[in-house]
Amino acid sequence: MDSEVSKILPEFFKKHWLPLLLALFGLIFFIYGLIALFSQNPAASDIKFETNSNIVSKENENLITVDIEGAVSKPGVYKLKLGSIIQDGLVVAGGLSIEANRDFVSKNINLATKLTDGQKIYIPRKDENNPSVLGLGTESASSLVNINMASEQELDTLSGIGPVTADKIINNRPYSDINDLLSRKVVSQKVFDQIKDKITAY
């Protein structure tokens, strides 16, 4: 029996050597593939997409946050693109509500003024007659010079402000607070003390 098998096997290999050889190579590649698959580093799955996080960071750098309150349809805190103006802020806040003092807005708020990060925009209502509600101090809104919107001629009317200083104030806009004139060294302390009760910034 064993001798018959030993005779048959060589003949079988002679007839089918090519398919057997190909099958052997295929088996070797299959085993190699399994080894490569299971030998992968498990930590490879913990991929950190640093590029994506950098993109998010850069996007955040190009955004500012503003607080829009008062007589607008949707008051709240909004993120806007760097370089946005007051009009852009009012648009995202749904525009002026029916209670808005539109006359005051048209006369005192320059919609083309650029917004700054952390700035607050307050739109007064028709029934608000107290200037302190608007953050304008004890004087009426019309008597205060808005350093964000005033022309060179209007700034020149302030005590201690000449054409050169007025031009300097304009070039350093926008301001979130009148104290920015000091922190940015636009005016001296002496001049600021003379004009601080006559100016506003919004």
Residues 6+ apart with CB under 8 A from 175: 116, 147, 148, 181, 201
How many angstroms separate the CA atoms of 133 and 103, rounded? 16
Report CA-CA distances (Å) from 16 to 13, 20, 22, 23, 100: 5, 6, 10, 11, 94
pLDDT at 127: 81
Q: Are 136 and 197 in contact (CB under 8 A)?
A: no
84-133: pLDDT as tens digits: 999 999 999 999 999 988 888 887 788 888 888 888 888 888 887 543 33
What are the helix (H) ranges across the chain? 2-15, 17-38, 50-61, 86-92, 102-108, 152-156, 163-171, 180-183, 189-195
Q: What's the confidence (pLDDT) of residue 94?
A: 92
CB 152 within 8 A of CB 145: no
DSSP state of 80: E
Query: In this predicted model, what pLDDT tens digit does every residue of 15-72 receive, in sequence order?
Result: 666 777 777 777 887 787 777 766 655 544 444 444 444 444 555 668 899 989 888 9
Q: Which helix (H) or strand (E) holds 79?
A: strand 76-81
Task: Tell me the C-alpha distance between 87 and 126, whole Å.
Answer: 20
Q: What pTM does this model have?
A: 0.42
Closest to 133 (Cα-Cα) out of 180, 70, 197: 70
pLDDT at 191: 92
Question: Which domains does the chain show, CATH number per domain?
Answer: 63-130 (3.10.20.600), 145-200 (1.10.150.320)
Strand partners, 85: 114
Neighbours of 113 (CB within 10 A): 21
Read off the tokens for 100.
């808005």
Q: What is the per-residue pLDDT for 40?
A: 58
Is it the case that residue 9 has pLDDT exceeding 60? no
Pairing state between β 76-81 and 63-70: antiparallel
Beta bridge partners of 65: 79
